[in-house]
Structure 1
Amino acid sequence: TDNKTHIVMGWLLGHSFDLQENLEGQLLSAVLLENSASPLMRALETTDLGHAPSPMCGLEDSNREMTFVCGIEGSEPERRADLEQLIESTLQKVVDDGVSQERLEAILHQLELHQREIAGDQFPYGLQLIMSAIAPMVHGGDPVELLDLEPVLATLREKIKDPEYVPGLIRRKLLENPHRVTLTLRPDEKLEGRRQQAIKETLARRKAELSDDDISHIVQRAQALEERQMRKDDDSILPKVGLEDVPLQMPEPEGRYDAETGATVYSRGTNGLVYQQVVLPLPALSKDELLLLPYYTTLISEVGCGELDYLQMQDRISAESGGIGASFTAKGQIDDVQAMAGYLIFSGKALSRNSKALTRLLKDVYTGARFDEKERVREIIAQIRARREQAVTGSGHALAMGAAAQGVSSGAWLSYRLGGLAGIRGTKELDQQLKDEAGLADFCGKLAALHNRIRSQNRQFLLIGEDDQLSPMLDELGTCWSGVSAEGEGNWSMEPVSYNTREAWLTSTQVNFCAKAYPTVAVDHPDAAALTVLGGFLRNGYLHRAIREKGGAYGGGAGQDSVNGVFRFFSYRDPRLAETLDDFDAALNWLYSEAHEHQALEEAILGV
């Protein structure tokens, strides 16, 4: 339990449906916590009172009354007063020193960008707007007013011209606000034992009080519940969507290739935003270099660049873009999951008026990122460790599936080593190694060497914007990147992976996550579509009832991963272990032995 305490401070603010109050809260949160150059975030990242800033940091505006929260994780209970003093002194310093006009303009730039962006990665944009309008409607506000922030942003632009405006917000909403609480969450190794003992004692007491009639009644109710779980519902009374309502072909945007710049260009309605990517094949990396990639892609936008240190770069990124980052993707061929190819992608977005600045920003990071700010690197790795450890309970089913599938294909192995349970263990070991100065210097040197190899690769570009924005973007791209050489070297590949896995991992969670994996086929195989439908068919027909309704887990299911050629069963927050693994096998027996209706198959197809 050492260094596992979570300490946060919270303030109660105004009504979330009051747009002026809401945007002032967002402005306040961004000034203090937006990135590592923000004063409060910097204080929480660099203090030795805890391991990392709390993931709860920021403004919570989904309730009727908003809350502003900040704090740390990986601390000790006796450090509460020190943390309060740190936060209060940091807030007072911001009040005394003020905030530069350039910084405030950059924050309003971010608010405008988020207001304009049409994002649809999770569900349709129209549905996102409806969901965002629900909260103010429930709490008594105007849901339509919330969808147009331009008038309030214009008012804020005038208010921030007063140098006392933001210090006044911090003083009024935080420093002088009596509606404040400090919460300390301390781990207790004996807590679960006391809970279980209390449950046992309560059940024993209740059982001793039962009469014969009470026992008979409980048995009857249990039988009735089982009968109800097994009974087929009459879903004909519900509205129905059929296969005929779903188009066979998804609409695909048409792009064009510009040979002079090596850019693929798409003209789309973006509501005044532009998107850019730099795509390059991964060089032939060793295993050790490959394991550096998750840290490299996280750090690349968090460190200094050229003559700017990391704090100055954070301010530049905020002022010129809606965010930049790097990612790594590796996939097999459509007909062979073992034939891997990998790519690194540098990406960014910005308002169209900043498209030139975005191009230069991506080029500068690509060519000039530095890994010599050793303390900054150590801080980010500590934060990565904290986030990964925290994610175990929430993502336990995905981690279990990754562990079960690790030997099925090279892509599954790579996911397990970089982002799975083995990756989490590796991050913990790395965090310990970086406490030694020699280990930290060696790690930073390896990152710099990896960056030098990556930036020498041949590259391509992807540009997305509205039609009138594309020609200037192409011109700037050609001008900006014309002097950047790219010799290119051999591309990365992996040896095939195939072995069986029978593992159990122990972690600090009160529930279990079970998984079982079978090697299957790649996406181009005729069976891939049927296997994709099979996941939903097994979940709806058998697994939900067996694992959730009867077994008591929060959830369970199955699915085909055609990218890695594996079919996986899983359970989520499960009180059982071996019984759930038996249910996975029983699901296949049910599939073979039972007669199935066409409607169930149609529902599974519609669910894909």
Structure 2
Amino acid sequence: MKIQEVYHGFRLLRETPVPEADVTAYEFTHEKSGARMLYLKTTDDNKVFSITFRTPPTDDTGVAHIVEHSTLCGSRKYPLKEPFVELVKGSLNTFLNAMTYPDKTMYPVASRNDKDFQNLMDVYLDAVFYPAMRENPQVLMQEGWHYEIESPEAPLTYSGVVYNEMKGALSSPDDLLESKIMAALYPDTTYHYESGGDPAAIPQLTQQMFTDFHARYYHPSNSYIYLYGDMDIDEKLRYLDEAYLSHFDRIPVPSHIDRQPAFDALRHAAQEYPVSVGEETREKTFLSLNWKIGEAQDAKTMFAFEILEHALLRTPAAPLRKALIEAHLGKDVDSEFETDLMEPFFSIIINNSEAERQEKFYTTVMETLRRLVADGLDRTLMEASLNRFEFKLREADFGSAPKGLIYNIHCLRSWLYDGDALDYLFYEDTLRELRDGLAQGYFERLIETYLLDNPHVVLLTLAPSTTLAAEKERVMTEELAARKRAMSAEEIQAVIEGTKALKLRQQTPDTPEALATIPVLKLDDIRRKAYELPLAVSKIAGRKLLESDVETNGIAYLTFYFDASRVAQADLPYAYLLCALLGSVDTQEHSYMELANLANLHTGGMSFDLGAYTYKDAPETFLPKLRVKAKALTRKLPELFSLLREILMESQFTDAKRLKELLEQEQVSIEMNMQRSAHNVVASRLAAYFTKAGAYEDEGALPYYEFVKSFLKDFDASLVRLREAASRLLPRLFGGEELVVSLTISASDAAAAKAELGHFLQQLPAEAYPKEEYHFPLKKENDGFLSASQVQYVGKGANFKQLGFSYTGAMRVLETLLRYGYFWTKIRVQGGAYGAFTRLRRDGQLFFGSYRDPNLKETLDVFDGTAEVVRHFEATDREMLKSIIGTMSGVDMPLTPRMKGDAAAECYLRGITYEDRQQSRDEILSTRQEDIRALAPLIDACMHENAICVFGAEEKVNENAALFGRLTRVMD
């Protein structure tokens, strides 16, 4: 291709090699429609496509978010109710979603299969340009909001997927805090508004406003099209032009984002968040200091500020974090550097504080920053943070997210605002400049410019309120009652009929003709053989070595599986606590701050956690392990092993002040995670009712949280017990011959790595300790957890192995069918929840769960009806094929080098062989309707166990108190 030549309507503007990402970038513009396009050519077979629109909101109705949901509810070529769901069920996608940001909406897909990739592109492009939402008001009703009433005597209520999602999201204080920070920092621009939608404002969105928003922004002239991977780009350009873009003329689109005028001086703001009526409000206030920081197009400054944030606040050696903790302003310090905006912002947040401490907070921050500038930042600290940042860039491990998708998001940080789309992919020159800047005062000047001398700053408090939730509910109830009183009998009947019509539409299956429009792969398109997980088993220094030969780009990934069965059951809380403390306390050789700097200088990180495995499909087995994960460049392994030896064998628990800080931070961290991921709390507790492994892991959830709280209430006495426990437990945890080590590394680096590993293992204690007995009650308590959430997380489960049933690969297909069929329709579409989960595992664990759900009993009724639905399950051969293919997309999800090593090691520990995985794969691929129906007795037996757990709104849980064996307020 030649620069400035036109290919299928696309003019090539630039071709640029980007060695850092191992791609060559091609930038195009579509002459007729005005669409921008970026193609990153690479050998990666996990191809990514996305189309993004700049969508700045002008109110809090959440219209951008609701349109994002709604475009995927049928289109010109795909006239189904939910093409998105049909794609999930029948595609080999490795990523399929859509995301609303404060100023843009992204529609990304990914697949390793060429035909599947093309199908995904076409469904998404037809959805965004020709959605059914423009003609069908029921789409807004379902995905956004609608009045709901079933009889003239009943009260009027609101429902809708996004409405309920945002009720849940804005019940979480950290989500609410970010929304309020943006409103305070950008009072005159689009960032003032909640793009996700404020539940109080969502019902103001009309059908006309809804369709106008789509018409305004969803045009190729306002689009950013992205392709990544190994593909025929000429074919893709032809397709994009002929199928879509040539049908549009270039137009001006009013999506420009205005800059926020700078403030003259510090501003103050105060907001509230809801807590339960009986919850303690003392020291539950959030303090935040927030600055507008430069512009996103300035990639060097953004990289530098990310390093600076880590150095100042994100590492145990961070001086600003230390100063804030020592000022006794709150229990924990957090920070956020948000770069996915035209004008990014930086926040320092104090958790568990009081409003009257805000001035001391501000003074402490500013005085500490002035001192750091005057004295100069510690060179070792800055080098350590820069090295950690560089390691992350070079590793490019984004877990299950496709690498091409993350590159896309990074490109948009500049591209969306008319900057260079490639700025965030290049980093070698920037790293050199930043390293040179360490000795030239660059980072000190950054502090002066953007923090000390920057008047665009807001000091915001978010205080707890025991009346706010009830007040909002009262206002909403009164508004709805007033609205109903103002309605005529005919209008009320119209709402009743509208509710019925919506439910009828939701319950009516798509026609075979409509379903046939969604393209489906063939079974021949799916690989029949299970993928190998490279693993060689040997011995090293008397311990078992699991070696995975994977190309890792010079990085060694290590996991040490220490035998934790030598820890007494009574000591489990201390074992969990030690995992949280190790690496963050002093050792005999270094202070915790020195240790943190050394870890950041020489490694990619270390972590410590406890878990329990079951052997294969035997739920009664119980293999508790303490996992120590570490990674480093192979040449840095001597330093890594030196640090590990020091942490495992020489950690000191004598600094009471430091330990109290860590315990308070641990409590806050658990509370925030519970509010973000309460479904995990529910799943953990349900598993604890049935198996030792489940009960063991649940000890690290809510019981551990209660242990941390009680530790802090009687800190001095608890500290004595901790020191005694540490001296007792550390030799038991980190010694013995039963240790299993997993090493994932390139073959060329293996010999050197194993030599260093063997030397390290010889230094570990080898003393034998007896295995301890564990006696968990394994009793169905049917817990109801009360919280300030406005939504529920509902769970029901059992262990089908204990009920006499066997695992089969067809269960994976049933998961797909339920999650995107029966549960999707009943719990999400009709019930208004954000989502629902199904889990049937080899060890017998069955879990049904809902997420951000306005209902409770109704959802349990859906779970109870599952067996009957499965018993009478019928589907065409085409629908069965789609479900099998959709299931295989999860089975064959691409794995990073680290993930391959982890998967191989876990299969070995659980005794799962290649033959087992192949058998499961064969069973999935051969699943038929009768195999699904045959699972009905299993589901029925599990539901009749009547084991439930719910985390939800205090009022809703109390209304259903008869369902529960015990009720517990989670946070007091």
TM-score band, normalised by shorter chain? over 0.9
Distance in 1 (alpha carbons) for counterparts of 2:744 and 2:837: 37
Distance in 2 (alpha carbons) for counterparts of 1:440 and 1:604: 54
Counterpart of 1:402 in structure 2 is 684
Query: SS at 2:294's partner residue?
Result: strand
Distance in 2 (alpha carbons) for counterparts of 1:6 and 1:506: 22
More displaced 10-residue stretch of structure 1: 330-339 or 590-599: 590-599
Structure 1 residue 122: Cα displacement: 1.9
Counterpart of 1:196 in structure 2 is 473
> Does residue 91 of structure 1 match 2:372?
no
Counterpart of 1:577 in structure 2 is 856
User: Using a 3 Å threshold, how does the CA distance of structure 1 residues 462 and 567 change in structure 2: closer, same or farther?
Assistant: closer
Whether the 8 Å CA contact 2:812–2:840 is kept in 1: the answer is yes
User: Using a 3 Å threshold, how does the CA distance of structure 1 residues 356 and 42 change in structure 2: closer, same or farther?
Assistant: same
User: Any idea what the Cα deviations from partners look like across 1:330-380, whole Å, max 9, x if unmatched?
Assistant: 111113111101222222112333222112222222222222222222211
User: Using a 3 Å threshold, how does the CA distance of structure 1 residues 413 and 256 change in structure 2: closer, same or farther?
Assistant: closer
Distance in 2 (alpha carbons) for counterparts of 1:446 and 1:287: 12
User: Any idea what the Cα deviations from partners look like across 1:444-479, whole Å, max 9, x if unmatched?
Assistant: 321232112223322343333333322222222333
Distance in 1 (alpha carbons) for counterparts of 2:344 and 2:874: 54
1:418 to 700, 721, 732: 700
> Does residue 62 of structure 1 match 2:344?
no
Query: SS at 2:699's partner residue?
Result: helix
Distance in 1 (alpha carbons) for counterparts of 2:446 and 2:595: 26
Counterpart of 1:343 in structure 2 is 625
Whether the 8 Å CA contact 1:331–1:340 is kept in 2: the answer is yes
User: Any idea what the Cα deviations from partners look like across 1:293-316, whole Å, max 9, x if unmatched?
Assistant: 221111111111222121211111
Counterpart of 1:391 in structure 2 is 673
Which structure 2 residues correspond to residues 591-606 of structure 1 after superposition, within 5 A?
Answer: 591-605=870-884, 606=886
Aligned residues: 600
> Does residue 149 of structure 1 match 2:430?
no
Whether the 8 Å CA contact 2:295–2:344 is kept in 1: the answer is yes
Whether the 8 Å CA contact 2:291–2:458 is kept in 1: the answer is yes
> Does residue 71 of structure 1 match 2:349?
yes
Structure 1 residue 9: Cα displacement: 0.5
Whether the 8 Å CA contact 1:283–1:457 is kept in 2: the answer is no
> Does residue 587 of structure 1 match 2:869?
no
Counterpart of 2:711 in structure 1 is 430
| Structure 2: gaps spanning 5 or more residues | 1-280, 891-972
Q: What is the root-mean-square deviation of aligned Cα atoms in Å?
A: 2.3
Query: SS at 1:119's partner residue?
Result: coil
Query: SS at 2:796's partner residue?
Result: strand
Structure 1 residue 567: Cα displacement: 0.9
User: Any idea what the Cα deviations from partners look like across 1:233-266, whole Å, max 9, x if unmatched?
Assistant: 3232223344433323343243444534444333
Whether the 8 Å CA contact 2:554–2:633 is kept in 1: the answer is yes
Counterpart of 2:310 in structure 1 is 30
1:270 to 542, 548, 552: 552
Structure 1 residue 114: Cα displacement: 0.6
Whether the 8 Å CA contact 1:385–1:427 is kept in 2: the answer is yes
Distance in 2 (alpha carbons) for counterparts of 1:288 and 1:47: 35
Counterpart of 1:441 in structure 2 is 720
User: Using a 3 Å threshold, how does the CA distance of structure 1 residues 518 and 483 change in structure 2: closer, same or farther?
Assistant: closer
The amino acid of 2:707's aligned partner reads: G
User: Using a 3 Å threshold, how does the CA distance of structure 1 residues 39 and 498 change in structure 2: closer, same or farther?
Assistant: closer
Counterpart of 1:116 in structure 2 is 394
Query: SS at 1:62's partner residue?
Result: coil
Query: SS at 2:348's partner residue?
Result: strand
Whether the 8 Å CA contact 1:339–1:493 is kept in 2: the answer is no
Structure 1 residue 58: Cα displacement: 3.2
More displaced 10-residue stretch of structure 1: 508-517 or 177-186: 508-517
User: Using a 3 Å threshold, how does the CA distance of structure 1 residues 135 and 356 change in structure 2: closer, same or farther?
Assistant: same
Counterpart of 1:178 in structure 2 is 455
The amino acid of 1:122's aligned partner reads: S
Whether the 8 Å CA contact 2:311–2:317 is kept in 1: the answer is no
The amino acid of 2:609's aligned partner reads: S
Distance in 2 (alpha carbons) for counterparts of 1:175 and 1:330: 49
2:319 to 23, 33, 39: 39
Whether the 8 Å CA contact 1:273–1:352 is kept in 2: the answer is yes
Distance in 1 (alpha carbons) for counterparts of 2:529 and 2:324: 50
More displaced 10-residue stretch of structure 1: 137-146 or 25-34: 137-146
The amino acid of 2:585's aligned partner reads: V
User: Using a 3 Å threshold, how does the CA distance of structure 1 residues 79 and 120 change in structure 2: closer, same or farther?
Assistant: closer
Distance in 2 (alpha carbons) for counterparts of 1:518 and 1:599: 32
| Structure 1: gaps spanning 5 or more residues | none
User: Using a 3 Å threshold, how does the CA distance of structure 1 residues 219 and 58 change in structure 2: closer, same or farther?
Assistant: closer
User: Using a 3 Å threshold, how does the CA distance of structure 1 residues 252 and 360 change in structure 2: closer, same or farther?
Assistant: farther
Structure 1 residue 87: Cα displacement: 0.9
Counterpart of 2:501 in structure 1 is 224
Whether the 8 Å CA contact 2:534–2:550 is kept in 1: the answer is no
Structure 1 residue 86: Cα displacement: 1.1
User: Any idea what the Cα deviations from partners look like across 1:201-222, whole Å, max 9, x if unmatched?
Assistant: 2112211221243233323322
Distance in 1 (alpha carbons) for counterparts of 2:399 and 2:464: 37
Counterpart of 1:286 in structure 2 is 568
User: Using a 3 Å threshold, how does the CA distance of structure 1 residues 242 and 366 change in structure 2: closer, same or farther?
Assistant: farther
The amino acid of 1:81's aligned partner reads: E
Q: Sequence identity, in percent?
A: 25
More displaced 10-residue stretch of structure 1: 471-480 or 57-66: 471-480
User: Any idea what the Cα deviations from partners look like across 1:126-180, whole Å, max 9, x if unmatched?
Assistant: 3433343343332333333322211110111122221x32221111110000111
> Does residue 478 of structure 1 match 2:758?
yes
Give the alignment's TM-score, normalised by structure 1. 0.93
Counterpart of 1:128 in structure 2 is 406
Distance in 1 (alpha carbons) for counterparts of 2:345 and 2:752: 43
Distance in 1 (alpha carbons) for counterparts of 2:537 and 2:418: 50
User: Using a 3 Å threshold, how does the CA distance of structure 1 residues 108 and 557 change in structure 2: closer, same or farther?
Assistant: closer
Query: SS at 2:407's partner residue?
Result: helix
User: Using a 3 Å threshold, how does the CA distance of structure 1 residues 221 and 480 change in structure 2: closer, same or farther?
Assistant: closer
The amino acid of 2:400's aligned partner reads: Q
Whether the 8 Å CA contact 1:60–1:68 is kept in 2: the answer is yes
Whether the 8 Å CA contact 1:118–1:271 is kept in 2: the answer is no
1:168 to 436, 442, 445: 445
Query: SS at 1:500's partner residue?
Result: coil
Structure 1 residue 492: Cα displacement: 4.9
Counterpart of 1:549 in structure 2 is 829
User: Using a 3 Å threshold, how does the CA distance of structure 1 residues 5 and 285 change in structure 2: closer, same or farther?
Assistant: same
Distance in 1 (alpha carbons) for counterparts of 2:432 and 2:547: 33
More displaced 10-residue stretch of structure 1: 306-315 or 4-13: 306-315
Structure 1 residue 91: Cα displacement: 0.9
Whether the 8 Å CA contact 1:409–1:497 is kept in 2: the answer is no
User: Using a 3 Å threshold, how does the CA distance of structure 1 residues 559 and 279 change in structure 2: closer, same or farther?
Assistant: closer
> Does residue 507 of structure 1 match 2:787?
yes
User: Any idea what the Cα deviations from partners look like across 1:535-566, whole Å, max 9, x if unmatched?
Assistant: 22222221122112222222223221334x22
Structure 1 residue 279: Cα displacement: 2.8
Distance in 2 (alpha carbons) for counterparts of 1:502 and 1:481: 45
Whether the 8 Å CA contact 1:339–1:496 is kept in 2: the answer is no
Whether the 8 Å CA contact 1:374–1:441 is kept in 2: the answer is no
